[in-house]
């Protein structure tokens, strides 16, 4: 005859109660809850931080590009650049000279947030401010540089309306955060800046540079 143990239901053995007790202890155990909650929150949190950092870097690089372009167009605005590059052998040579004006010489580069040597420049003239439109640097079909962009230079005479466009590829860590912005096939972001202005009536008494 098996004697009953006080507090234990009839027919339930000690071995049968142990798994049930373990399950109950597991369900009510709050240990490690913080770690589980952190694991659920950390992925979207770090994703948000990465998105904010990338957007900030892109904005900084874009502003940096605009500042560098303004540095270059001031020399065209005053006619200084045209005078120093009169009768260039080809457009590539004079555009390289304009890039040097933007970024500094190879031995004394001005710090930038992008690869200054990779900047593509386009300088064209317009009949009016209303008609002055910036060219499209990126081909939306091929996701690569548009044919002919970065190879055009038109010398600006006194009083001419000039459209100068600078564009550069800017690598990003998270291509999926571009949100429909113009991008290349490798995921790099297109940074672009355009300046439209009328040149000063600079001195051409010694001969027109154009």
pLDDT tens digits for range 117-152: 899 999 999 999 988 888 899 998 999 999 999 999
Supply the pLDDT for residue 61. 93
Q: How many angstroms from the chain centroid is the CA of residue 22?
A: 55
Domain spans of the chain, in order of start: 34-199
Two structure tokens written together for 158: 């006194």
Supply the pLDDT for residue 7. 52
Q: Supply φ then ψ for residue 200, to 5 degrees.
A: -70, 160
Q: What is the mean pLDDT of residues 6-12?
A: 52
Q: How far apart are CA 120 and CA 4, in angstroms?
A: 92
Two structure tokens written together for 92: 């590539």
Supply the pLDDT for residue 110. 74
Two structure tokens written together for 96: 């390289």
CB-based contacts of 82: which residues, under 8 Å, 6+ apart? 76, 155, 156, 202, 209, 210
Tokens 């209303």 -> residue: 130
Q: How far apart are CA 76 and CA 162, in angstroms?
A: 9
Supply the pLDDT for residue 121. 96
Q: How many angstroms from the chain centroid is the CA of residue 172?
A: 6
CB-hemisphere CA count at 13 Å for 200? 13
């Amino acid at each position: 005859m098996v004697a009953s143990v006080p507090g234990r239901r009839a027919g339930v053995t000690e071995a049968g109660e142990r798994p049930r007790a373990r399950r109950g202890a597991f369900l009510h155990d709050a240990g490690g809850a913080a770690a589980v909650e952190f694991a659920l929150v950390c992925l979207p949190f770090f994703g948000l931080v990465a998105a904010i950092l990338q957007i900030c870097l892109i904005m900084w690089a874009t502003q940096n590009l605009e500042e560098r372009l303004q540095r270059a167009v001031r020399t065209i605005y005053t006619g200084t650049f045209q005078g120093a590059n009169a009768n260039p052998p080809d457009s590539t040579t004079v555009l390289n000279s304009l890039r040097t004006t933007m970024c500094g010489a190879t031995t004394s580069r001005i710090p930038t947030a992008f690869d200054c040597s990779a900047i593509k420049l386009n300088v064209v003239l317009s009949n009016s401010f209303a008609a002055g439109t910036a060219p499209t640097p990126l081909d939306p079909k091929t996701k690569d540089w548009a044919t002919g962009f970065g190879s055009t230079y038109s010398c600006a005479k006194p009083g001419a309306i000039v459209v100068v466009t600078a564009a550069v590829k800017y690598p990003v860590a998270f291509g999926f955060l571009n949100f429909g912005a113009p991008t290349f096939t490798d995921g790099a972001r297109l940074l672009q800046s355009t300046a439209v202005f009328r040149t000063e009536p600079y001195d051409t008494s010694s001969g027109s540079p154009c």
